[in-house]
Structure 1
Amino acid sequence: MKLVLKQRLFSWFDSYDVCDEYGNAVFSVKGRLAWGHLLEIYDNMGNKVGVLKEKVLKIFPTFEIYIGGEYMGCIKKEFTFFKPKFHIDFCGWRVDGDIFGWDYSVYSGAEQIMYVSKELLHLTDTYVIDVYDDSNALAGLLIALAIDAEKCSDGN
């Protein structure tokens, strides 16, 4: 399943539209007022299905992931000089990215779970998320949002 994550141009808080590869709405993401990033994910029926919440007062950006109201784990940026690296403490997943952090893969062991690439030449941030198992779409979206939020916090 391919998801296209596109940031809305005019919004006070981070807001995104998430469509499948055919342009059908799959999720919508709404930013809320909070200390740090707080993003709520809704399915195409308007039901809240996930939350991404930044933990403040941390040395390295850390984001808590909730699916269906249940805490699933967190994703944390690790210190590196060149290649961005993130630690995910749920599902046994790991993130490997390029030097700019625009394109990266998520793995479970040796198996690739998803690939994320940033599309350039758009007015707003636009990512294509290629998830190889549809059941991982929401968790994959939350990870992509966390990495994008970290870049925003970092000033990139």
Structure 2
Amino acid sequence: MELFIKQKVFSWKDHFSVKDRQGRDCYLVEGKLFSWGKKLHVFDQSGKEVLYIEQRLWKWLPTYVLFIEGKEAAVVKQEFSFFKPRYTIEGPNWRMEGSFGAHQYQIMESGKVIADISKEWFTWGDSYALRINDEAHALLALGIIIVIDCVIASQQAASSGS
């Protein structure tokens, strides 16, 4: 399964769609404009919320909880590292490897690739290609990818002083 995310540029709040290879909308992601911590809602084509992402506050490093259909499915945490970002996933037995800064990484389980993520650099706004090997993992993999992007974007904004 392939999904494509193109974030809207110059948006006051997180708002972007997830499309299939034919350019059809599969999911809509919307964030709350005024809230403590980041809160993102993911809706399917019928408007039903299928994934909810919430940032845990008062943590030293970014921590996000992912809920699928109201049930906690995973917790994604950035780990302390001197050289390159590291993340852990609590819940499923998944791990991530690759270059997060270059937006080229994989989600793995027992040596098998669950999802492969790559960023398209020469487009208007951030665009990502997601190759998910098992459709049953699509929502959770999508949520994890959104979390990683939130963390990177927050760190870039903080380092640029905006």
1:123-143 deviation digits (Å, cap 9, x = unpaired): 211111110011111111100
1:34 aligns with 2:35: yes
Matches within 5 A, 1:132-143: 132-143=133-144
Q: Could you say which residue in structure 2 is the equivalent of 1:88?
A: 89
Contact 1:116 1:129 survives alignment (8 Å)? yes
In 1, the alpha carbon distance for the partners of 2:42 and 2:16 equals 9
Letter in 1 for 2:108: Y
Alpha-carbon distance in 2 for matches of 1:64, 1:55 = 7
Instruction: Give the structure-1-normalised TM-score.
Output: 0.94
**Counterpart of 2:154 in 1: which secondary structure?**
helix
Work out whether residues 116 and 127 of structure 1, in 8 Å CA contact, stay in contact via their aligned partners in 2.
Answer: yes
Moved more, 76-85 or 17-26: 76-85
Secondary structure of 1:36 counterpart: coil
Aligned to 2:45: 44
Paired residues of 1:17 and 1:28 also in contact (CA < 8 A): yes
CA distance in 2, matches of 1:86, 1:155: 17
Instruction: Name the residue aligned to 2:160.
Output: none
Q: If the length of structure 2 is used for normalisation, what is the TM-score? A: 0.91
Name the residue aligned to 1:23: 23
For 1:9, the equivalent position in structure 2 comes to 9
Answering whether residue 145 of structure 2 is matched by residue 118 of structure 1, we say: no
* Counterpart residue identity of residue 136, structure 2: S
Structure 1: unaligned runs, 5 residues or longer:
none
Aligned residues: 156
Which deviates more, 131-140 or 74-83?
Answer: 74-83
* Match in the other structure for 1:58: 59
The residue type equivalent to 2:146 in the other structure is L
Gap change, CA 1:83 and 1:154, over 3 Å in 2: same
| Identical-pair percentage | 32
Relative to structure 1, is the Cα distance of residues 12 and 99 closer, same or farther in structure 2, using a 3 angstrom cutoff? closer
SS in 1 for 2:106: strand
Structure 2 unaligned regions, length at least 5: 158-162
Q: For the residues of structure 2 that align with 1:141 and 1:120, how far apart are their CA atoms? A: 19
Is 2:37–2:54's contact at 8 Å kept on the other side of the alignment? yes
SS of 1:152's equivalent in the other structure is helix
Inter-partner Cα distance in structure 2 for 1:152 and 1:55: 17
